[in-house]
Each structure stands twice: as structure tokens, then as C-alpha cells.
Amino acid sequence: MATSGVGLLDFVTFTEALVWLRDNNFISFRNGCFFLTTATFDINERKIRSLQARKKLLELRTLLDFCKNLSWVRGVAVTGSVGVGQADADDDVDLLVVTSKNRLWITRVVLIVFAEILGKHRSRTGSSENEWCFNLWLESDKLSVHPASRSIYTAYEVIQAKWLLDKDSIQNWFYFSNMWVRKILPNSQINVSNKSLRHQPFSQNIFFDFLDLLSYLFQRIYMNSHITRERVSLSAAFFHPRDTKGIIFQRWKTSLSPKATVLVTGVFDVLHHEHLHFLRASRSLGGKLVVGIESDKRVRRIKGKDRPINKSSERRKRLEELDFIDSVIVLPEKFSQPIDHLHLLQSIKPSILAVSSHTPHLDEKRRLMAKIGGVVRVVLEQNPAISTTKLIARKEMNVKKRN
């Protein structure tokens, strides 16, 4: 009873602290979740990605059942977007496989053949969704990340791995072998007691030892013709042809740069406070804000023949009067296809494309921004009660009532 009482008291104290932080504008509360006041992501999008990640985990059951019966496999963990529970529908599943000593390369052949039979093995082109990407391989006595590879990126990789199969305390051994993470991320929960570490069995067999060596040699010869960033040895293999770490660091640098150019696009027909909130939030992301407004012809096609209320020259003038906007341009009348959007991005070269949570074709915009080395940032949650269309409708209704 005493324990439950303390737990209840802690919960009440925690709740009161959250309310105080909210009331003093340190955090905000939207869509049932607490956020930092500077948070710019879309909670609805995160929920969808969370559901996608869980779906992909369920699809691994066949592989895990097979690995349970394969004595050479000591552990399986999911990394990447699925590991952190935030995956897009077309993301593949990145896997870390731990094998017994001197069994890595035989095991790799077995699991790849198994995945090929099921049609789940990710090819080098990686053209299908929900494929299994066996990109990290370690033997059970070589679990520590090499000192030359230790960074904040790999530290997060260690603690974010989601272990789905754990034989003989491999997960604990993995954490115990990488306690260096605590120096970079001191709040990470990877404390492991020696008492939780069971002995890892090792059965020496000269025939299978030789077969593993032979498998390594054949696979290495095959890889030599197209190896890029991959690192392989007898006891470890890292298949990361794409410089994910470099891409992420560049995005961090881009998004934090005070000189970054931020681009927003829209109609901005009748300026209201949600527009201003969106534009100010966008401006806070970088050192320069460029606003692209839709042409009158495009607005009529999208919104109807009675729109826009204000012509592009008037809309442009009102935006230019806002002292935090650096440049306003009128978008081309032909602006419907991805190639048109790409041409605009290539001419402006924004580091960040700022959007609101209800923007359409978000995945396509991310893809286009990635082509020029930029990122998409959601800076405003949609307020369904406020829009130019609804404001016009209310005004017309009031006029009818007066008449």
C-alpha cells in the first residue's frame, strides 16, 4: 500500500508540474498531447507513422519464429525508423542480427535465402515496401561499437534498437559492451547488472568454422565489385551504402542555421491571425523568409470562380508590408506538377520548406526538398474553425442577415 501511495503522490505532483508549465507557456497542449512551445511537428502524422511501425513489427513474426529455431541466431533487433516507432508506409525494416561465434556468414546465407523465399529480402535497388534489410551483423563476442565509430548518432542507434529476440541475455550483453553511451547520453537507461548477464554458450565445430570462413570469402568476393560504404570482417558486417549519419547531421545543421532560407507557399487571400501565426513561426526557423503566392488564375481553378477576393498584386503588397518577410513572389500559372515545384525549389534553394499540418502531398514535398538538400518542417497545427473560405462564408451570411 505504501508503494502505491507514493506512486499516486508522484503522479499528482507530475500532473501539477505539467499544468504549471502549460499555464506559464513553457509547454502547450494540443490534440491530447503536451508539446514544447517551439515544437513544429504534426502529432497526427506521428500517430499514423506509429501505426505503420507497429504493423511492420507484426509482419516480422515469421522471421522471428524461424530464428528461434535456428541455434546460430542469438538475438534480433529492429533499428531505424521502425525501431523508434515512426515509419512511413514504404519504409523497409532495418535489422540487427547477433549470431554465435564463427557463424555470422553461414547465418547470413540462411536468413537471406529464407527472406528471398518469402519475397521480403531487400535488394540493392530496394524498390518494394516492407522489405527486410539485414544491414547490421555482429557475433556474440564482438558487440561493442568500435571507438572510431562512436558518436551521438551511434549512441542513439544503440539505445533505440528494439530487441525482438533475446537468447542468453544478448540484449544485456549488448548494452554492457556499449556503456560508453552513458558518456554521450548520460540519461540513457542502459544500466546493466552483472547478475543479469548469463553465460553465452559457444560450441566449437571445426567443420562449421571452416564453412563460415568459406562463406565469408565467397560473399566478400561478390561484394568487392559494388562495395561502397559497407564495412565487413569475419565477426561483423555493416551494410549502410547510404550515408544516413551524414544526411541527418546535415539536416540538423540546415534546420538550425540562422542563415537558412525558409520558403512558404499559399494563397494568402484574406490575411487572418492564423496566417500571421504560420508566417511568424516559419520565419523563426531561419534567417530569410520567402513567400510564394498562388497566381490569380491558379486560385480560380483551385478555389472557384469567385476567388481570389484580392488580386495577386494586392496580396503581394500586404505581405510585403510585414517587416519579417524578406521576399514575396507570385508563383507561375503552370504550377501543378512535381517538376514545376522542383524548378521553383532549384531556383530559390530554400533550406526549409515550412508547411501547416493540413498541407497536401506532404511525402512528395519531402522527396523534392531532399533532392536539393533541404527539409520540410510542419510549423502549425490546422485550426479547422479558421480559414479564408470560412471567414468569407461568415461575412456573406452576416450580410444576408442584415438585408
207 within domain boundaries = yes
Residue 79 has pLDDT above 80, yes or no: yes
For residue 93, the surrounding DSSP H or E stretch is strand 93-99
Q: Is the confidence at residue 12, as pLDDT, over 90? A: no
> Is residue 270 pLDDT above 90, yes or no?
no
The pLDDT of residue 10 is: 73
pLDDT tens sequence across 356-372: 878 888 889 988 998 88
Euclidean distance between CA atoms 88 and 363, whole angstroms: 9
Q: Average pLDDT in the 288-311 region?
A: 90
Is 31 contained in some domain? no
In this predicted structure, what is the pLDDT of residue 189?
Answer: 73
Same-domain check for residues 273 and 339: yes
Q: How many CB atoms lie within 10 A of CB 270?
A: 18
pTM above 0.95, yes or no: no
Per mean pLDDT, which range of 5-14, 39-48, 122-131, 261-270 is the poorest? 122-131
387 in the same domain as 263: yes
- Residues spanned by the domain of 335: 250-402
Average pLDDT over all residues of the chain: 82
Given 3-state DSSP classes, what are the helix, strand and coil percentages for the chain, each rounded to the nearest 5?
A: 45, 15, 35
Please, which pLDDT band fits residue 2 given cuts at 50, 70 and 90?
Answer: very low
CB atoms within 10 A of CB 198: 12
Q: Using 50, 70 and 90 to split pLDDT, how confident is the model at 284? A: confident
Residues 179 and 276 grouped into a single domain: no
**Residue 165 maps to a domain:** yes
Q: Are residues 258 and 311 in the same domain?
A: yes
Asked whether residue 304 carries a pLDDT value surpassing 80, the answer given is yes
- Asked if pLDDT for residue 344 goes beyond 70, the answer is yes
Whether 306 and 216 map to the same domain: the answer is no
Among 208, 242, 276, give the residue marking a domain's end: 242
d(C-alpha 369, C-alpha 363), whole Å = 10
Examine the domain organization and report whether 222 and 267 are in the same domain.
no
Query: Does residue 214 have a pLDDT over 80?
Result: yes
Domains: count for the chain: 2
Percent of the chain with pLDDT over 90: 39
Of 40-49, 157-166, 282-291, 377-386, give the range with the top mean pLDDT.
Answer: 157-166
pLDDT at 161: 92
pLDDT of residue 182 exceeding 80: yes
User: Residue 42: what pLDDT?
Assistant: 63
199 and 266 fall within a common domain: no
Hey, how many other C-beta atoms are within 10 angstroms of the C-beta on 193? 8
Residues 199 and 77 both lie in one domain: yes
- pLDDT above 80 for 92: yes
Average pLDDT over residues 166-170: 89
Tell me if 72 sits within 8 A of 99, measured CB to CB.
yes
Boundary residue ending a domain (209, 242, 275): 242
What integer pLDDT is reported at residue 383 of this predicted model? 54
In a domain, 211, yes or no: yes
Has residue 29 been placed in a domain?
A: no
Identify the weakest region by mean pLDDT among 50-54, 187-191, 383-387.
383-387
Residue 123 lies in a domain: yes
pLDDT, residue 174, reads 93
Give 57-78 pLDDT, tens digit per residue: 999 999 999 999 999 999 999 9
Q: How confident is the model at residue 211 (pLDDT cuts 50, 70, 90)?
A: very high
Does the pLDDT value for residue 235 go beyond 50? Answer: yes
pLDDT of res. 358: 80
For residue 6, name the pLDDT band (cuts at 50, 70, 90). Answer: very low
> Do the domain assignments include residue 353?
yes
183, 211, 242: which is the final residue of a domain? 242
How buried is 36 (Cβ within 10 angstroms: 0-12 exposed, 13-18 middle, 19+ buried)? exposed
Please work out, in degrees rounded to the nearest 5, the angle formed at the alpha carbon of residue 389 by the alpha carbons of 400 and 357. Answer: 150
Query: 295 and 226, same structural domain?
Result: no
Q: Say whether both 228 and 300 belong to one domain.
A: no
352-356 and 375-380 strand pairing: parallel
- Both 231 and 306 in a single domain? no
Within a domain: 258 = yes
Q: Are 283 and 386 in a shared domain? A: yes
**CATH code of the domain containing 290:** 3.40.50.620
Q: Where are the alpha helices (DSSP H) in 141-205?
A: 152-160, 170-177, 181-184
Residue 377 zone, left/alpha/beta (φ > 0; ψ -120 to 50; rest) = beta
Contacts of 333 (CB under 8 A, 6+ apart): 295, 297, 298
pLDDT at residue 387 greater than cutoff 80: no
